[in-house]
């Protein structure tokens, strides 16, 4: 399923009607996540796993005016996203970079939205807690049971600070986590010994 959607994005981004339709399918999802994480124009939003059609980044900018730094580990997807955003005049406030979300390469952020297809979600949450600052907000899309093996899953959902219900085939909930200064300093090695 992941490979199918990755291939579909790379094909759809070449044709504006398909690009627009694919992008449009996720507007209601991102709108709920923006409200959940209280994203405003003052935020710097990190979108990990943006793909060739960075629909999450586009909707965040359109809904809030925030600056978005979108990462994907696939250099071809990043190149295509940059090219087509510029071609369609949608590149305002969006910076696309090659990256996998490892803590040493994460730019400063106030909010992070993690794509469904990011496999090791538990490790990604640890990375973001390490790199983030006090009050940083992190949103994950949690796959439904039948897709958890393929997409990975979060297991410590009792640590979540909130959630929204989504009406998608592959995921039904988006969860919010808030970084505390205690967590981030312990993750960086500044905990009490």
| Predicted confidence pLDDT, tens digits, the chain (193 residues) | 556 554 555 555 565 666 677 667 789 999 999 999 999 999 999 999 998 889 899 999 999 999 999 999 999 999 999 988 898 888 999 999 999 888 888 999 999 999 998 989 999 999 999 999 999 999 999 999 998 988 889 988 999 999 999 999 999 999 999 998 765 545 545 443 3
**How do the domains of the chain map onto residue ranges?**
2-187
Q: What is the pLDDT of residues 97-114, one digit of tens each?
A: 999 888 888 999 999 999
CATH class held by domain 2-187: alpha beta
- Please tell me the total number of residues recorded for the chain in this structure: 193
Neighbours of 7 (CB within 10 A): 11
């Amino acid at each position: 399923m992941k490979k199918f959607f990755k291939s579909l994005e790379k094909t759809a981004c070449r044709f504006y009607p398909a690009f627009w339709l694919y992008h449009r399918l996720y507007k209601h999802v991102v709108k709920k996540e923006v409200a959940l994480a209280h994203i405003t124009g003052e935020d710097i939003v990190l979108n990990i796993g943006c793909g060739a059609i960075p629909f999450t980044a586009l909707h965040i900018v359109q809904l809030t005016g925030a600056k978005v730094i979108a990462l994907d580990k696939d250099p071809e997807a990043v190149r295509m996203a940059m090219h087509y955003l510029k071609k369609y005049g949608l590149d305002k406030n969006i910076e696309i970079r090659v990256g996998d979300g490892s803590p040493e390469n994460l730019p400063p952020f106030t909010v992070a939205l993690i794509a469904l297809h990011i496999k090791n979600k538990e490790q990604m949450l640890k990375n973001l807690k390490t790199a983030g600052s006090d009050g940083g907000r992190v949103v994950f899309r949690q796959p439904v049971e039948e897709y958890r093996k393929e997409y990975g899953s979060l297991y410590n959902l009792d640590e979540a600070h909130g959630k929204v219900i989504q009406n998608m085939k592959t995921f039904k909930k988006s969860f919010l986590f808030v970084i505390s200064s205690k967590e981030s300093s312990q993750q960086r090695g500044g905990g009490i010994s």
